[in-house]
A and B are shown apart, each in its own frame.
Chain A
């Protein structure tokens, strides 16, 4: 069953188009990374999926309409919308009691197990915890919920690299399994390179790229072109070309790896190179402009 299914998802704030006809299909058991520049519509898309904003178009999450069936949906979906949304006055034991009281899928022992690995005392208030500890607490609460869909919007924003590493490790090792789906956005694209199974670039409210990670391996090739073969490389219509230390680096979409390797040093691009290539390329093409 598809976990998330969207057709022509649109959202407009006044005259600003935040989502301009998004097509989205996420199967159960996938980890989708939603990447885009600031203001691309990532958070709006997540908010629509979480039933936090009304939208136009068709959207089903776990078979439900998120706007009209939000209360039922929230039993099966959990989310961390931001790193700093835990109320500052709440004490750790109160947060545990509350979630245990209202959530049918919360496993308190599991949350306490996660917290036992941290230095977070139960009597402490959120306002007295460090930013990293707040993130750990929120993650412990969310990972103890046996949800079918977990949505993370910039979950590691403002955290140091150790916490970020730990965050993704726990997510993969202690939480994720084939029956769950995770949808996340982040600007730290390199960090999720080995976490996600699917990738979606979104720019100006539109989907710029949507493919899974295996596809990226054989579909895209980045080549540092030998000085004499620049024209040959350009003839293959690279989607992007940039100059580094006097040499051309080109990105090919759907060009055979052998053929590309003949032009220079070829390799699979990282998400960030791909992102820059696809998004800048989008901006140049007039039809890629949403507004």
Chain B
């Protein structure tokens, strides 16, 4: 081994005394997020797999579209929207649900797994601060996953529409206008983007931040530690005061609260643009309280990771 050492690029003492320039935070963040995607391929594999399975099911059921086309003239616009739009809405819900599950499990393990497999010692040997590490892990469920699932949903719905159109064209229907207008996905996409980024990202962020905090703190069973304390509080509240404020507070975070409900309840029956209410969302104190809680949880997680080593 040593005999070949002379062909190696030698270490240059000239570069020594010079203090190494810091790598920009954005670049550290980029590589930290990439590393998360390398480790947790479920972040994109799971929603894509679910979308593929759904598309497979949809392609089998696609002949229904012919029956629906025959039935359509006898229905009013609302019923047509329901008829054609249902599978598209179902695809959305399915992919969203998958993303939520992936995000929850990812967050509960993010700062626990690295301690369990001792790799935290390797990550800490790199000049990446706890701040960047925790923020990059928080960015996965709060930013990356919503953006990614939005793209997957759009792609899935586009393929569904193409498949239906192809079947219609192939069976002699040349007027696709009724299908395309009643499906209404093009109007829906901007709203869907808002929904993903704001409800799944910002509104649900305290849930992910809580899981990250538990994952950096727990010595074992982070999922249990994440679930039991809120559950206990909810039960004690129910027993003591016979109220369920805490439970509905948590529930609101999952469902998107009143904002999310307004969007979801509207469904396809209303003009999508009418449900698109970013102003109402951003003046909702619940959003800002949630974000403050997220910030507090993440700050605690950053502080705690400083003291954490392998378990």
Contacts and interface: CB of A to CB of B under 8 A. Distances in A.
Interface of A: 47, 50, 52-54, 70-72, 74-76, 78-82, 84-91, 94, 97-99, 101-105, 107, 109-110, 113-114, 117, 138, 142, 146, 148, 166, 169-170, 172-175, 177-180
A169 B4 contact: no
Contact of B125 (A54, A74, A178, A180): A74
Contact of A74 (B35, B114, B126): B126
Contacts of B280: none
B288 interface: no
A152 to B, nearest CB: 11
Interface in B100-130: 114, 117-122, 124-129
Given A85-B118, A146-B11, A175-B11, 20 more contacts: A52-B309, A53-B309, A74-B125, A75-B127, A76-B19, A76-B20, A78-B125, A82-B121, A86-B122, A87-B119, A90-B39, A101-B30, A110-B8, A117-B4, A138-B122, A142-B125, A166-B1, A174-B5, A179-B16, A180-B16
Contacts of A89: 38-39
30 contacts: A54-B307, A78-B125, A81-B121, A84-B118, A85-B118, A85-B310, A87-B39, A87-B119, A87-B122, A88-B117, A90-B38, A94-B35, A94-B38, A97-B31, A98-B34, A101-B27, A102-B127, A103-B126, A104-B21, A104-B22, A104-B127, A107-B9, A109-B9, A117-B1, A138-B122, A146-B11, A170-B1, A170-B2, A177-B13, A180-B16
Contacts of A79: 125
B23 interface: yes
A169 B35 contact: no
Contact of B119 (A86, A107, A117, A174): A86
3 smallest CB-CB distances across A and B, nearest first, come from A101-B31, A87-B119, A81-B121
Contacts of B128: 102
Contacts of A98: 31, 34-35, 126
Interface residues of B, number: 43
Interface string B285-311: 000000000000000000000010110
A71 B125 CA distance: 10
Contacts, number: 123
Contacts of A110: 8-9
A119 B18 CA distance: 35
B23 A103 contact: yes
A169 B2 CA distance: 6
Nearest to B21: A104
A87 to B, nearest CB: 4
A104 B307 contact: no
A230 to B, nearest CB: 46
B50 interface: no
B38 to A, nearest CB: 5
A173 B3 CA distance: 9
A101 B122 CA distance: 15
